[in-house]
Amino acid sequence: MNAVKFLFAAYIATWVIHGVYLGTLVRRFSHLRRQLKELGKGK
């Protein structure tokens, strides 16, 4: 029964990893959009 904590840990870890990666993508997107705007090419 105690093993269930490992199951939840695995599921949570999976979504934390995906969340962190998606967060970096969003951050990089906004950084590039800002750079493009500064270059006068923003859409």
Partner 1 sequence: MKRLFPILSILTVVLLAYALYEALVVAPADALQGDVYRIIYYHVPSAWTAFLLFFINFVASIQYLAQAKRSENAAKWIVIVIGVVGVVATFLPPVQHLLPTGMRPSAVATTVLLIPVFYFLIGKLFTGERLDVLAITSAEVGVVFCTIVLVTGPLWARPVWGIWWAPGDIRLTSTLVLWLIYVSYLVLRRFSNSAQTQMLAAALAVFGALDVPLVYFSIWFFRTQHPQPVIGGGGSMDPRMLHVLLISWMAFLCFAFLVCWSRFRLELLQREVEQAHAMESMVGAGTTSSKPSLPLSRSSR
Displacement of CA 26 from its chain's centroid (Å) = 7
Pair 36, 42: CB distance under 8 Å: yes
Least distance to partner 1 from the beta carbon of 32, Å? 5
- Residue for token pair 């695995």: 10
Interface of this chain with partner 1, residues 4 to 43, rule: CB under 8 A: 4, 6-7, 9-11, 13-14, 17-18, 21-22, 25, 28-29, 32-33, 35-36, 39, 41
C-alpha to C-alpha distance for 30 and 23, rounded to whole angstroms: 11
User: Which residues of this protein are in contact with partner 1, per CB under 8 A?
Assistant: 1-4, 6-7, 9-11, 13-14, 17-18, 21-22, 25, 28-29, 32-33, 35-36, 39, 41
